[in-house]
Amino acid sequence: MTMIKIDQYFEPASWQKFTKLLKVARRLFLVVDLSRIETKYHEMVSLFPNAKLHYAMKASPAVEVIDLLANLGSNFDCASIYELDRVLGCGVEHLVSHMATPSKKAEHVKYAFEKGIDLYATDSEADLKNIAKHAPGSKIFVRILVQGSETAEWPLSRKFGCHPNMAIDLLVQARELGLVPYGISFHVGSQQKDVAAWDDALSKVKYMFDWMKNEEGIKLQMINLGGGFPTNYISEVNPIKVYAEEITSYLTDDYNDDDMPEIILEPGRSLVGGSGVLVSDVVLISRKSDTDLTRWVYTDVGLFQGLIETLGEAIKYPVYTPKMETSTSEGTVVLAGPTCDSTDIMYEEAGYQLPEELEIGDKIYWLTTGAYTNSYSSVEFNGFPPLEVVYID
């Protein structure tokens, strides 16, 4: 793997904004540039003009991010009452949000319903009955299982969702239970590199829409296309524009203008990933034997301070150090975190290259760390405090 170039990730002016802050950093922290989230939001809205965006707030649940997106007009995808409280606490009651997780405690459904939430995801009979009891009359969408786990860098498609035939039964049962059978959702897996994953999922959805109308006389009204849109890590991905064009053409092939369902998108990673730079120090450089060609580079950030998505080396963050600008030779490194847990190794197989001139005390910048980092950071494993975040705009 060759070393990265900063201009693949940042316009010069935008990188300068970061570096001003990075130079004064004396501790581990994440810098989040809110203006980059704003740019991404506008891009997504303009590429999908007929869709409603529900920000999947688990990607970065900070008040700063919620306030920004709420002001831009975003809706929110809340997966727990805690996320719901966070959104409501930011004063965004007028925006639709829903409980996206198909497994919910009864008292949590009751609580959400009392707060005015009337749109729920489900994928099982027990959960559906739970919703019918505690959120009567609500709108229901059923999450189906779809393909895509091989081409998603962080697959999400196995835990939730059910077979389309079961989803049909649930939607029919929803009506019997006094709920509104409203639509279908899926998630093709996060950082999904294959645009065709949506095509596959949408063909299942189309079959279900037709079946429900013809066999049950139920006109479904909504398709939730989930998240999965990529951000800019090491491996190359298509621009979001390509995703938008392809998905729009799948939809217009399947539906006419006058029967086009309401479309919901739930982007998380693609909106916020590119906004973050994690600033870490090199704590130790060592080798496992005198002849070992690989250096072990230990940093003060690891899986427990926000880099959990490096598990299995799934997400490969661009790693940058200023010495790359002047380095004359580079070598392979293992990158490891600061704790005693041997899981706390970010990259061993990936073959990251860093300058031979790298020294203890140098800074390492982890680019594209705006998504799924601070919310995953542990509270005090080995005594390390949670990841601090600084917001700039």
Segment 70-99, which members bind ligand PLP (CB under 6 A)?
A: 77
- Helix 34-47 vs helix 240-254: angle between axes, to the nearest 10 degrees? 30
- Member of 36, 40, 52, 58 binding ligand PLP (CB under 6 A): 58
Among residues 346, 336, 285, the alpha carbon closest in space to that of 315 is found at 346
- Helix 81-89 vs helix 63-72: angle between axes, to the nearest 10 degrees? 70
Residue 364 buriedness (CB in 10 A; 0-12 / 13-18 / 19+): buried
Binding of ligand PLP by 315 (CB under 6 A)? no
User: Can you spell out the DSSP letters for 178-226?
Assistant: T-EEEEEE----EEE--THHHHHHHHHHHHHHHHHHHHH-----EEE--
String marking each residue 269-288 x if it binds ligand PLP according to CB under 6 A: xx------------------
- Member of 40, 86, 108, 187 binding ligand PLP (CB under 6 A): 187
- Member of 113, 229, 366, 381 binding ligand PLP (CB under 6 A): 229
Instruction: Say if residues 220 and 181 touch (Cβ distance below 8 Å).
Output: yes
Q: Which helix (H) or strand (E) holds 328?
A: none
Binding of ligand PLP by 370 (CB under 6 A)? no
- Member of 60, 130, 138, 190 binding ligand PLP (CB under 6 A): 190
Binding of ligand PLP by 61 (CB under 6 A)? no
String marking each residue 18-57 x if it binds ligand PLP according to CB under 6 A: --------------------------------------x-
At its nearest, how many Å lie between ligand PLP and the CB of residue 58?
5
- Member of 33, 127, 266, 362 binding ligand PLP (CB under 6 A): 266
At its nearest, how many Å lie between ligand PLP and the CB of residue 228?
5
* Cβ-Cβ contacts under 8 Å for 352 (sequence gap 6 or more): 1, 319, 332, 333, 335
The three-state secondary structure class of 119 is: strand
The residue range among 15-23, 163-171, 172-180, 220-228 that interacts with ligand PLP, by the rule CB under 6 A, is 220-228
Among residues 90, 60, 68, 76, the alpha carbon closest in space to that of 387 is found at 60
Binding of ligand PLP by 100 (CB under 6 A)? yes
The binding site for ligand PLP (CB under 6 A) comprises 56, 58-59, 77, 100, 156, 187, 190, 226-229, 266-270
